[in-house]
């Protein structure tokens, strides 16, 4: 066992059996075969769990959908659902992003009861990223394509040795919640052997190699604080925001963006709903009397970068960009955040 | 678990017309809402919307809260159509108020403009409750015209209060106006303060905040002794929705009262 971590070897068929058993109590969301690529689906007790897609890359849908839904009634209702949920197949980039949301919504001064309840009732079973996408760049922001923290359980699939033999999984325990789940269903846990860990390491390094290849053309400092410092008034922001149309796809799809609109429902009962909102919209920061600190599209575009790369690190010591690359895929102006960061790095103050 | 988005019902007890577009609403919430002067609350008009306001009443007044509101937007427009007896919602208090403890023993300059006098009235009333703890209290207030001055009746009392020096100006005087004509900052030339032992509190519309703070700095007040009440789009009030971001700060949690020292390097503060 690696120092400080708890890793077990589990036979593939035992894992399948275990997962099936959990369905009596837990609602399971996992990536299943989609039209183009794997998509999150609910797997009920009657469903074929062999349809679950393990490994691969992060799904298009960010993890925040499950804990912080796009639209939710928050008054006068209290959180009611006690539904226990397992979310399977979460990748490292999304776990990191969730830690940013945790800072906001679990702020001890004002914990958000809706988020808190869902977070408490959710078990996160992550797995290693094995096929990064062309838009993936976690390693350029100090991340790794395999989860290191923030999960309840993490799965690393090992190749069958000898070929055609039993497939196995390395299950790493990340929390008491994860450990309890394993014990609840008495899954047979075998000690992880040295060669298992070696295989996992080799697989992980291979993925890092892929990511390096994908991102060979992008260069910016690993510490983004030095990247944006002093560049606020640089003309580079006008240049890099040229193709932005302010549609907010980037912030909606971002696993770490948390801003919302608290809106009144048209009744007399103090009903309030919150919807995901975006700092990219013109009126986002506008006050009633008309003052608006970010009237220009460039200013709103720049705001997103400063929020993610400077303000969140200053406040929480966490970057609010984890290199998942979803914004690259979602952008209709074909703006690639890696190109933006490369240009900003090259620009003068 | 407490739901921070759920308002408490409050009955409008009285509506006081201050100026043609400013009214003070006396609210009686179902539960007391103790606040520190300078903190703000969110007022809900059911089915219409919610907006942030800093109470204008004394924090010593417990069972009621007064809110002075200018008719500028959707929510405030609806509020202006409401009358005594109607129900609104109230959440809060939120944020950080004026650090009174740092002002004890000092000369206090209050510089206000227009409806920006609302939080300053609460602050001033808090100071006057323990006036002996402050070396001196100077109030400078400016409005567009004599008609636009808020708390007209209360000013009559304040002028007589021996604990307080009051200076007023209007941008455009009428024939009856006997006080200063000009922007509020001209009042600052009418007296001297001991800058070694003083604080300045500024609140007003963005343009007045900018030039007011600039003038106070020019006069030699220190950035760490200047307190600004920032107006941003505080929506959730609890540091989550992101609308009131001011650089790395959320005005709703880290403010609305900031020392100038805290935010002087932050872009967009006057916009």
Mean pLDDT value across residues B1-15: 94
Is residue B239 a part of any domain in this protein? no
Are residues A289 and B267, on separate chains, in Cβ contact within 8 Å?
Answer: no
Same domain, B87 and B129: no
Contact criterion met (CB below 8 Å) for B97 and B46:
no
Inter-helix orientation angle A113-120/A92-105, to 10°: 140
Position A4 confidence tier, pLDDT thresholds 50, 70, 90? low
Domain CATH number, residue B193:
3.40.50.80
Among B5, B238, B248, the residue with its CB nearest the CB of A311 is B248
Highest mean pLDDT among A157-161, A201-205, A223-227: A201-205
The per-residue pLDDT for B271 is 84
- How much of chain A exceeds pLDDT 70, in percent? 96
What is the C-alpha separation between B166 and B164, in angstroms, rounded?
Answer: 6
Count of Cβ atoms closer than 10 Å to residue B162 Cβ = 6
Same domain, B116 and B189: yes
Mean pLDDT value across residues A291-304: 96
Same domain, A121 and A140: yes
Same domain, B153 and B62: no
Indicate the SS3 state at residue B76. helix
The per-residue pLDDT for A226 is 78
Mean pLDDT value across residues B6-30: 97
Is residue B246 a part of any domain in this protein? no
Instruction: State how far the alpha carbon of B139 is from the alpha carbons of B111, B142, B202, B243, in Å.
Output: 6, 10, 10, 32
| pLDDT over threshold 50, residue B116 | yes
Within A136-259, strands assigned E span 153-158, 168-173, 190-191
What is the C-alpha separation between A61 and A31, in angstroms, rounded?
Answer: 10
Mean model confidence pLDDT for chain B: 97
Same domain, A170 and A292: no
Give the range of the structural domain holding residue A247, as residue numbers without chain letter.
224-346
What is the C-alpha separation between A89 and A38, in angstroms, rounded?
Answer: 10
In sequence order, which residues have a C-beta less than 8 Å from that of residue B207 and are 6 or more positions away?
A: B270
Same domain, A194 and A230: no
Same domain, B105 and B223: yes
Same domain, A248 and A271: yes
3-state helix, strand, coil in chain B (%, to 5): 30, 30, 40
Chain B: give the shortest CA distance to residue A221, in Å. Answer: 21
Same domain, A110 and A241: no
Same domain, B211 and B178: yes
Mean pLDDT value across residues A80-95: 93
B residues 68-87 near A, CB within 8 Å? 70, 72-76
The per-residue pLDDT for A102 is 98
- How much of chain A exceeds pLDDT 90, in percent? 84
In sequence order, which residues have a C-beta less than 8 Å from that of residue A335 and are 6 or more positions away?
A: A240, A243, A244, A250, A327, A328
Contact criterion met (CB below 8 Å) for B175 and B148:
no
The per-residue pLDDT for A80 is 73
Same domain, B162 and B123: yes
In sequence order, which residues have a C-beta less than 8 Å from that of residue B253 and are 6 or more positions away?
A: A109, B94, B95, B96, B238, B239
Are residues B51 and A288, on separate chains, in Cβ contact within 8 Å?
Answer: yes
Token pair belonging to B34: 């103790």
Give the range of the structural domain holding residue B63, as residue numbers without chain letter.
8-93
What is the C-alpha separation between A103 and B3, in angstroms, rounded?
Answer: 18
Is residue B253 a part of any domain in this protein? no
Position A349 confidence tier, pLDDT thresholds 50, 70, 90? low
Is residue B192 a part of any domain in this protein? yes
Bridge-based pairing state of the strands B165-170 and B180-181: parallel
- Digit-coded pLDDT (tens) for A98-139: 999 999 999 999 999 999 999 999 999 999 999 999 999 999
Same domain, B89 and B104: no
Is residue B118 a part of any domain in this protein? yes
Is residue B258 a part of any domain in this protein? no
Mean pLDDT value across residues B20-39: 98
Mean pLDDT value across residues A306-330: 96
Is residue A108 a part of any domain in this protein? yes
Mean pLDDT value across residues B67-79: 96
| pLDDT over threshold 60, residue A1 | no
Mean model confidence pLDDT for chain A: 93
| Domains of chain B: total | 2
Among B4, B76, B268, the residue with its CB nearest the CB of A110 is B4
In sequence order, which residues have a C-beta less than 8 Å from that of residue A91 and are 6 or more positions away?
A: A57, A58, A126, A127, A129, A145, A147, A324
Position A2 confidence tier, pLDDT thresholds 50, 70, 90? very low
- Find the angle CA(A151)-CA(A154)-CA(A157) to the nearest 5 degrees: 160
Mean pLDDT value across residues B155-170: 97
Report yes or no: B236 at the A interface, CB cutoff 8 Å: yes
Among B4, B72, B238, the residue with its CB nearest the CB of A289 is B72
Are residues A293 and B268, on separate chains, in Cβ contact within 8 Å?
Answer: yes
Mean pLDDT value across residues B29-53: 97
* Assembly ipTM: 0.93
Same domain, A164 and A293: no
Token pair belonging to A209: 């190699």
Same domain, B62 and B133: no
Instruction: State how far the alpha carbon of B156 is from the alpha carbons of A238, B126, B168, B188, B210, in Å.
Output: 53, 18, 12, 21, 29
DSSP secondary structure string for all residues of B176-230: T--SEES-GGGGGGG----GGGEEEEEESSHHHHHHHHHHHHHTT--GGGEEEE-
What is the C-alpha separation between B47 and B74, in angstroms, rounded?
Answer: 12
Same domain, A103 and A170: yes
| Domains of chain A: total | 2
- Digit-coded pLDDT (tens) for A148-192: 999 999 999 998 766 666 789 999 999 999 999 999 999 999 999
Are residues B46 and A267, on separate chains, in Cβ contact within 8 Å?
Answer: yes
């Amino acid at each position: 066992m690696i120092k400080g971590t708890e890793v077990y070897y589990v036979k593939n068929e035992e894992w399948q059996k275990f997962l099936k058993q959990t369905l009596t109590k837990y609602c399971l969301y996992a990536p299943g075969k989609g039209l183009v690529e794997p998509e999150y689906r609910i797997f009920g007790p009657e469903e074929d769990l062999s349809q679950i897609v393990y490994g691969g890359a992060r799904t298009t849908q960010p993890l925040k959908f499950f804990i912080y839904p796009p639209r939710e009634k928050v008054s006068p209702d209290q959180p009611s659902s006690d539904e226990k949920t397992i979310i399977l197949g979460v990748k490292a980039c999304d776990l990191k992003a969730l830690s940013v949301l945790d800072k906001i919504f679990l702020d001890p001064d004002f914990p958000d009861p809706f988020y808190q309840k869902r977070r408490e009732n959710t078990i996160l079973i992550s797995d290693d990223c094995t096929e990064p996408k062309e838009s993936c760049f976690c390693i350029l922001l100090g991340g790794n394509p395999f989860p290191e923290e923030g999960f309840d359980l993490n799965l690393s699939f090992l190749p069958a040795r000898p070929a055609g033999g039993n497939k196995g999984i390395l299950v790493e325990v990340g929390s008491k919640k994860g450990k309890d789940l394993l014990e609840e269903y008495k899954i047979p846990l075998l000690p992880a052997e040295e060669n298992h860990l070696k295989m996992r390491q080799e697989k992980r390094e291979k993925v890092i190699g892929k990511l390096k290849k994908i991102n060979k053309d992008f260069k910016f400092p690993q510490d983004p604080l030095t990247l944006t410092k002093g560049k606020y008034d640089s003309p580079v922001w006008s240049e890099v925001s040229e193709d932005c149309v302010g549609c907010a796809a980037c912030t909606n799809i971002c696993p770490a963006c948390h801003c919302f609109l608290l809106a009144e429902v048209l009744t007399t009962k103090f009903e309030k709903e919150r919807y995901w909102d975006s700092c990219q919209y013109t009126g986002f920061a506008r006050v009633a009397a008309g003052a608006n600190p970010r009237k220009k599209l460039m200013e709103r575009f720049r705001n997103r970068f400063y929020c993610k790369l400077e303000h969140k690190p200053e406040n929480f010591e966490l970057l609010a960009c984890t290199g998942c690359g979803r914004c690259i895929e979602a952008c209709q102006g074909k703006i690639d955040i890696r190109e933006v960061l490369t240009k900003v790095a090259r620009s003068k103050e | 678990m407490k739901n921070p988005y759920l308002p408490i019902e409050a009955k409008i007890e009285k509506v006081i017309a201050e100026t043609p577009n400013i009214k003070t609403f006396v609210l009686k919430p179902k539960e007391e809402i103790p606040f520190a002067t300078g903190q703000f609350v969110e007022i809900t008009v059911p089915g219409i919307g919610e907006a942030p306001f800093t109470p204008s009443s004394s924090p010593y007044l417990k069972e009621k809260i007064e809110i002075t509101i200018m008719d500028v937007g959707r929510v405030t427009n609806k509020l202006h159509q409401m009358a005594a007896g109607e129900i609104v919602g109230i959440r809060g208090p939120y944020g950080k108020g004026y650090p009174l403890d740092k002002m004890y023993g000092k000369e206090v300059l209050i510089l206000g403009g227009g409806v920006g006098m609302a939080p300053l009235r609460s602050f001033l009333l808090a100071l006057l409750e323990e006036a002996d703890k402050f070396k001196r209290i100077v109030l400078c207030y400016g409005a567009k015209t004599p008609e636009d001055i808020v708390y007209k009746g209360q000013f009559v009392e304040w002028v007589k209060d021996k604990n307080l020096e009051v200076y007023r100006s209007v941008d455009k005087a009428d024939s009856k106006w006997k006080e200063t004509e000009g922007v509020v900052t001209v009042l600052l030339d009418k007296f001297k303060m001991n800058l070694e032992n003083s604080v300045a509190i500024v609140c007003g519309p963005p343009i007045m905040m900018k030039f007011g703070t600039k003038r106070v700095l020019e006069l030699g007040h220190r950035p760490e002794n200047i307190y600004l009440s920032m107006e941003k789009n505080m929506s959730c009030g609890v540091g989550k929705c992101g609308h009131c971001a001011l650089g790395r700060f959320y005005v709703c949690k880290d403010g609305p009262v900031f020392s100038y020292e805290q935010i002087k390097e932050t872009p967009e503060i006057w916009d």
